[in-house]
Structure 1
Amino acid sequence: MSDYARDSVQRHCQSLQEALTRFRRQNVEQVTAWGEHLAAVLPFGGRLLAAGNGGSAAQAQHLTAELVGRYQQERPAYSAIALHAETSTVTAIGNDYGYQEVFARQVAAHGRPGDVLVLLSTSGRSPNLLAAARTGRAAGLRVWALTGPRPNPLAHAADEALCVDADGAATIQETHLVAVHLLCECFDETLTVPGADSFTSASAAHRRTS
């Protein structure tokens, strides 16, 4: 390995280590709360919708796969849809309405009040994600954004945002993956905590009457 390549790898690892240190200090409570919220929504008919572009699309699809399948332990399957993975729908909407609407129109189709919409973007500036956030909030979904540093338009448009304090897109995406795994871990752990049944039942009653 050349000195240049070695230095580049070292810088990348250092950047990720620093980002994760900040994440642990600033965002752990937030991602824990998100996991607990999902545990109050998904077991009672709620749905998670997720979307992103490029590498963030892969992260969003990773999240939905963990919920429909499993993360670590056996549990029921829960409804989670990666909107960008609907290739015929994405191309039809893009062709007929423009690429800015490829997620928003799906949110309008699939989202219901009380569902959760997770939008991932390193820049927080993607027009199609901003349109999805606006549509989701108008339809009564809970909109969460995973982005790069504040301030950015998507963090502002969402109900809540987990913003990674890092410069490089790769480091932001790698930290987003940690957040996705922790979200699934907190979700699973909340489902197995004694007393979780009463917690989720109360939320389900609220959803039925809201």
Structure 2
Amino acid sequence: MILNELNHHKQTIDKVIAEIIPQIEEACKILIETINSGSKVLLAGNGGSAADAQHIAAELTGRFVKERIALPALALTVDTSALTAISNDYGYEKVFARQVEAFAKPNDLFIAISTSGNSGNILAALETAKKLGCKTIGLSGRGGGAMTGLCDVNIIIPENNTARIQEMHILIGHILCTAVDNLY
């Protein structure tokens, strides 16, 4: 079982290397432009993708590898009062869109994470981000889903297994953080 899981992970990496390096490069450029302009990064996802959003935000506000200045990044998944109030008053589909509306400014970056690419609350947040003039990066799988039409770049993991998709998402998150570290 362990060898099978490791081999499946390796096979997924081999697919990623072959298919999505240009999208990762474009996402790195967008993130670097955002940081260089003094704008902020907002991130959101559900379940494991929420954990990935929090992880990437922490790497930017704290540090990844290099000692550098703190950078403005916020996971929209951590404020339980906002999450429950917005969900109660507006429905769960608006839980991230309302926060994007509250915090995002033109030229900020919204990173949307959804293994299916079809999470309703992520799609609503992407629509709000686009209306506000934000740049958008998607991390998805399973063909990209509806996110593809809403992202400046949607990095689609060519896989259907949720665990493999999430493993690649955090690897890509670390690549994005390396690109930021290389600025300093």
Short-chain TM bin:
over 0.9
Whether contact under 8 Å (1:36, 1:187) holds in the other structure is no
Partner of 1:206: none
CA distance, structure 2, for counterparts of residue 32 and residue 158 of structure 1: 15
Whether contact under 8 Å (1:69, 1:77) holds in the other structure is yes
Would you identify which runs of 4 or more consecutive aligned residues in structure 1 move more than 3 Å? none
1:11 paired to 2:4: yes
Structure 2: gaps of 5 or more residues: none
Whether contact under 8 Å (2:109, 2:137) holds in the other structure is yes
Q: Percent identity?
A: 38
1:86 paired to 2:79: yes
1:171 paired to 2:149: no
1:54 paired to 2:47: yes
Offset from partner CA, 1:5-59 (integer Å, 9 cap, x none):
x3xx333222211111111222223223322332222244200000000000001
Which residue identity does 1:81 align to in structure 2?
L
**Larger-gyration structure (1/2):** 1
CA distance, structure 2, for counterparts of residue 73 and residue 151 of structure 1: 32
Change (3 A) 1:36 1:18: same
Whether contact under 8 Å (1:32, 1:182) holds in the other structure is no
Partner of 1:198: none
Whether contact under 8 Å (2:97, 2:126) holds in the other structure is yes
2:66 paired residue among 68, 73, 78: 73
Offset of residue 187 of structure 1: 1.7
CA distance, structure 2, for counterparts of residue 115 and residue 143 of structure 1: 9
1:104 paired to 2:97: yes
Offset from partner CA, 1:120-174 (integer Å, 9 cap, x none):
1111111000100111101100111100131411122222100001121001000
Partner of 1:162: 155
Q: Which structure has more helix as a fraction of its residues?
A: 1
1:183 paired to 2:144: no
TM-score, normalization: structure 2? Answer: 0.95
CA distance, structure 1, for counterparts of residue 121 and residue 26 of structure 2: 26
Higher mean C-alpha deviation, range 26-35 or range 72-81 = 26-35
Aligned-residue RMSD, C-alpha: 1.3
